[in-house]
Amino acid sequence: MDLPSPGLPDRLRSAGTRRARDLAARARLGTRRLAPYRPRSELVLPATEVPRAAVPAVDAHNHLGRWLTDGRAWLAPDVPALLARMDELNLAAVVNLDGRPGEELEANLDRYDRAHPGRFATFAHVDWSLLTRGPAGVGAMVAQVERAARAGAAGLKVWKDLGLVQRDASGALVRPDDPRLADVFDAAGEHGLPVLVHIGDPPAFFRPVDRFNERLEELTRHPDWSWHGKGVPTHRELQDAFESLVGAHPGTTFIGAHVAGWAENLQWVSDVLDRHPNLVVDTGARLAELGRQPRAAAAFVRRHADRVLWGSDSFPFEAGAVSRWFRLLETADEAFDYGPEPDQGRWTVSGLDLEPEVLAAVYAGNARRVVPALAR
Ligand SMILES: [Zn+2]
């Protein structure tokens, strides 16, 4: 699933307001009559259940903290139950991207990493709004990185707000490759913290929300996910800014979240991986994208078998959503649903049928190399 765009999140609106707004958007775009249409496939095909990963796996992209609930509740309210579910699924460890800075980082580390060594690796955030304070603010951000490393954070998480929302003192949007932030990314490299970057959003979110948009129905359900006409950089500009960030800091390891932000264009991702040995990618929330181009996706993963980290981004943590990934990666099943609802677009996915050595790297080996804290 994709995170809602910054701004007033859907979950904070009242259900009534949300429903009225959705109905208005559907009426405007003429998707009202399409909404209840749920065709049932007549294909008769094998369906392989894969309840456990082929090897003890590391979910390299997930959310267990309180960041996505605005601090109200832990996304995994019952840690022993989560551990039991991980054991059933053959998950050795989960990367938790919700460390935030300061006390919230400490609370996440206490609850997960320190209480259950080896099972969790929490990444910290940096407070980019400090940039409005000029060079002193940059110094404070570097101090946050140093404090996170000392506390035992496993890496840094950079969200799409850097590029789409965060502004400097002059009111200009700040891109991740802004030279004023260079010390922050160098500090991460010096302290051995990999930096996971969620750049941008799917390209369809930057296009007009019209009858040509492949995610029209999703964008009519979530109009605030669209960036079109909002005065932000284009999808391509953000992708280029991400590459220039990675290229500017060869001593820092970057994890391009969500297949480096462009799962729809695996050739671009492949070229960027070839150009930058300090980059790897995770698969978080891109099952529907990889599975709708199974031959291209399998070729991509095989070519970069040591650079792709499996991550589910399935939260709240749900066994069915995680094991659907196992089916995608391990089987040759064709044309199955990528989720309970076709909420990203009306297509199905097919398995990548990856070999055991590739699976071992993608499920665990790569994450263990890139995130050294998993070994603690
Ligand atoms: Zn995520």
CA 313 / ligand 1 centre spacing (Å): 5
Helix or strand holding residue 309 (H, E)? strand 308-309
Residue 48 · residue 282 · CB < 8 Å:
no
Ligand 1 centroid, distance to 284 Cα (angstroms): 7
| Residue 39, in any domain of the structure | no
- The domain tally of the chain equals 1
What is the structure's pLDDT at 27?
Answer: 65
Distance CA 177, CA 248 (A): 8
Closest CA to 208 of 222, 225, 224, 228: 228
**C-alpha–C-alpha distance, residues 169 and 166, integer Å:** 10
pLDDT band at 245 (very low <50, low <70, confident <90, very high): very high
| Other beta carbons within 10 Å of 316 | 16
Q: How many angstroms separate the alpha carbon of residue 28 from the centre of ligand 1?
A: 31
pLDDT at 5 over 50: no
Q: How far is the CA of 157 from the centre of ligand 1 (A)?
A: 10
Any idea which residue has 């709240």 for tokens? 316
Measured in Å, residue 44 CA sits from the centre of ligand 1 at: 34
We report the CATH number of the domain holding residue 103 as 3.20.20.140
C-alpha–C-alpha distance, residues 236 and 261, integer Å: 10
pLDDT for the residue 1: 41
Torsion of CA 292, 5, 226, 129, to 10 degrees: -120
Q: How far apart are CA 218 and CA 5, in angstroms?
A: 13
Q: How far is the CA of 94 from the centre of ligand 1 (A)?
A: 12
Q: What is the per-residue pLDDT for 133?
A: 95
The reported pLDDT for the residue numbered 376 is 82
Report yes or no on 242 lying in a domain. Answer: yes
pLDDT given at position 35:
80
Within a domain: residue 31? Answer: no
pLDDT at 200 over 80: yes
Q: How far is the CA of 42 from the centre of ligand 1 (A)?
A: 34
Q: Residue 308's domain spans which residues? A: 49-375
**What span, in angstroms and rounded, lies between the C-alpha atoms of 376 and 370?**
13
Q: Higher-confidence residue: 8 or 264?
A: 264
At 22 the pLDDT is 63
**Mean pLDDT across 64-79:** 94
- CA 74 – ligand 1 centroid, Å: 15
Q: How far is the CA of 83 from the centre of ligand 1 (A)?
A: 20
| Pairwise pLDDT comparison (125 vs 3), residue with the higher score | 125
- Enter the tokens of residue 185: 């990314």
Grade residue 16 by pLDDT with cuts at 50, 70 and 90. low
Query: What pLDDT, on the 0 to 100 scale, is given for residue 33?
Result: 76
The structure tokens listed for 323 are 């094991």
- Answer yes or no: is 38 within a domain: no
Say what the pLDDT of residue 362 is.
Answer: 98
Which helix H or strand E contains 321, and what residues bound it? helix 319-330
Question: What distance in angstroms lies between residue 61's CA and the mean position of ligand 1's atoms?
Answer: 6
Q: Considering the domain boundaries, does residue 95 fall inside one?
A: yes
Question: Per-residue pLDDT for 3 more than 60?
Answer: no
Backbone φ, ψ for residue 334 (5° rounding):
-110, 150
Per the prediction, the chain carries an average pLDDT of: 93
Joined together, the tokens standing for residue 373 give 């804290």
Distances (CA, A) of 208 to 25, 227, 261, 263, 347: 14, 9, 19, 20, 21
d(CA 196, CA 282): 9
pLDDT tier, 2 (very low <50, low <70, confident <90, very high otherwise): very low
Residue with the two structure tokens 């399409």: 34
Alpha carbon of 285 to ligand 1 centroid (Å): 7
How remote is the CA of residue 184 from the centroid of ligand 1, in Å?
21
Asked whether residue 272 is domain-assigned, the answer is yes
List, as one string, the DSSP characters of 274-317.
HH-TTEEEE-TT-HHHHHTSHHHHHHHHHHTTTTEE-----SS-
pLDDT in tens, 246-272: 999 999 999 999 999 999 999 999 999
State the pLDDT at residue 172: 96
Asked, for residue 64, whether it belongs to a domain, the answer is yes
Determine the distance separating the centroid of ligand 1 and the alpha carbon of 247, expressed in angstroms: 23
- What pLDDT, in 10s, does the model give residues 271-320? 999 999 999 999 999 999 999 999 999 999 999 999 999 999 998 889 99
Distance 311 CA to ligand 1 centre (A): 9
Q: Of 355, 193, 367, 185, nearest to 282 (Cα)?
A: 367
How many A from CA of 27 to the centre of ligand 1?
31
The answer, yes or no, to whether residue 8 has pLDDT greater than 70, is no
How many angstroms does the Cα of residue 124 sit away from the middle of ligand 1? 13
Q: What are phi and psi of 197, to 5 degrees?
A: -115, 120
Percent of the chain with pLDDT over 90: 87
The CA 181 to ligand 1 mean position distance, Å, reads 23
Angle among Cα 260, 261, 264 to the nearest 5 degrees reads: 105
Q: Is residue 319 part of a domain?
A: yes
Please tell me the distance from the alpha carbon of residue 157 to that of residue 99, in angstroms, as a whole number: 8
- For residue 260, give the amino acid letter: A
Question: For residues 255 and 196, is the Cβ–Cβ distance under 8 A?
Answer: yes
Q: Is the pLDDT of residue 44 over 70?
A: yes
Residue 150 C-beta-side C-alpha neighbours within 13 Å: 8
